[in-house]
Amino acid sequence: MALDILAMAPLYQVPTISRIGQKTDPSKRPADSLKPLVPSKTKLTTIEAKRIMSVLDEAINKVELATLLSYVASNRGDVEGMLGEDIMRAVREHEDLCQVLLDNVKCLKEKERQLQEQDEAKEEGWLRDRRLSIELQKSSLPPLRQQIKDSTKNVLRLLLSNPQAASFLQMQTQGRSAEAQSLIDSLNELRGFLFEKLLTSPMEARDKAQFIQDISKQNSMNQQIIDTLENELTERMKDRQAEEEFEDLEAVHREEKITLEELKRKHQVLVEEFVQIREEQEINSKKRMEAEQEMVHMVRAATLIQAVWKGYLVRSLLRSRKKRGKGKAKDKEKGKEKGKGKK
């Protein structure tokens, strides 16, 4: 969608350098106040998560390149040697298509303006022909937009097949408009949110939601206390005279200070308890995994022992049957020999 929007933008417009925003770096943001709730993992481990980030990174890379096509078109002499003839030819064709679209849109707006001005003065036949001409020209815009989209994809394909040219173009950040830079900054911010989301396990997400809910409830209670104290203070200030007033304010201030310290202490206790609970959960989870692995090993060992024992029993049975067969055969031979001797 981002590339479709960029493909419709006028290619020849180049912004002033003073309007260009700085690219944000998600890794250099201020630390979150919920420091104990940062994800325990620092790298993506699942294939699905890596694929998601790969798709988003590829999209951001393409947007960065597409937003610099206007700079290439306006500075052909400076970049032609680095980008090559094929890329420059594709950019010129893309520029021509964009210019045709702009001309058609401008002509269409002019015809619509003339039609509104001459709506009552002209004959019905002229108005009908003019409306038909406008409709025909409108119908030619979607195919032209599709050509511009295809042209944008073709230019990006050529740039991505030439890493040196793509790297050179990405360094020309001064040629990107402020609106395009804002889009890229938003995409990078989205990447940071998505990366953090993919790092967070379901258990961590549940704990984080519970912690935030507890803090919100506590904050709401604290705000109610503060509002009550402020209301009491307001009422006292109205009823007291100017001389007892300073003392009352001092007392209220001391009470509020004590209340604030108590609330801070409770908040710290909550944070410490949550950290302790999470550490205990991690230890229990680790012990459970170790016990499961030990049970798997024991089951495998028992299965192996049973298989060996069954094999031993089968072999013993076969050996005993062979011995019995040999003994019967010898008895038969002895009986035959005794019969012959009697004859």
Alpha-carbon torsion angle 72, 73, 74, 80, nearest 10: 60
Say what the pTM is.
0.46
Q: What is the pLDDT of residues 297-318, one digit of tens each?
A: 898 888 999 989 998 888 888 8
Report the alpha-carbon distance of residue 31 to residue 341 in Å, rounded: 110
Strands, E assignment, 128-263: none
Report the alpha-carbon distance of residue 107 to residue 102 in Å, rounded: 9
How far CA 95 is from CA of 8, 80, 137, 211, 299, in Å, comes to 11, 15, 20, 54, 70
- The structure tokens listed for 257 are 């200070």
Residues of the chain above pLDDT 90, percent: 2
Give the pLDDT mean for 284-290: 88
H-run or E-run covering 306: helix 242-342
Q: Say how many CA atoms lie within 13 Å of 26 toward its Cβ.
A: 13
- The structure tokens listed for 298 are 């024991």
Q: Is the pLDDT of residue 121 over 50?
A: yes
Q: What is the pLDDT of residues 51-70, one digit of tens each?
A: 988 898 999 989 988 888 88
Q: Which residue has the higher pLDDT, 182 or 17?
A: 182
The string of DSSP letters for 271-293 reads HHHHHHHHHHHHHHHHHHHHHHH
- Hey, where are the domains in the chain? 47-199, 201-313
Q: Which pLDDT belongs to residue 30?
A: 43
Q: What is the pLDDT of residues 249-283, one digit of tens each?
A: 788 888 888 988 998 888 888 888 888 888 888 89
Q: What is the pLDDT of residues 198-257, one digit of tens each?
A: 887 777 778 777 888 888 888 889 899 999 888 888 877 777 666 666 777 788 888 888
| Of 72, 68, 67, nearest in space to 92 by CA | 72
240 close to 248: Cβ distance less than 8 angstroms:
yes
- Length of the chain equals 343
Report the alpha-carbon distance of residue 86 to residue 91 in Å, rounded: 9
Tokens 């004859």 label which residue?
Answer: 343
Q: What is the pLDDT of residues 12-43, one digit of tens each?
A: 333 332 332 333 444 444 445 555 566 666 78
Q: Which pLDDT belongs to residue 339?
A: 60
Q: Which pLDDT belongs to residue 340?
A: 60
| φ, ψ dihedrals at 176, nearest 5° | -95, 140
Q: What is the pLDDT of residues 313-339, one digit of tens each?
A: 888 888 888 777 776 666 666 666 666
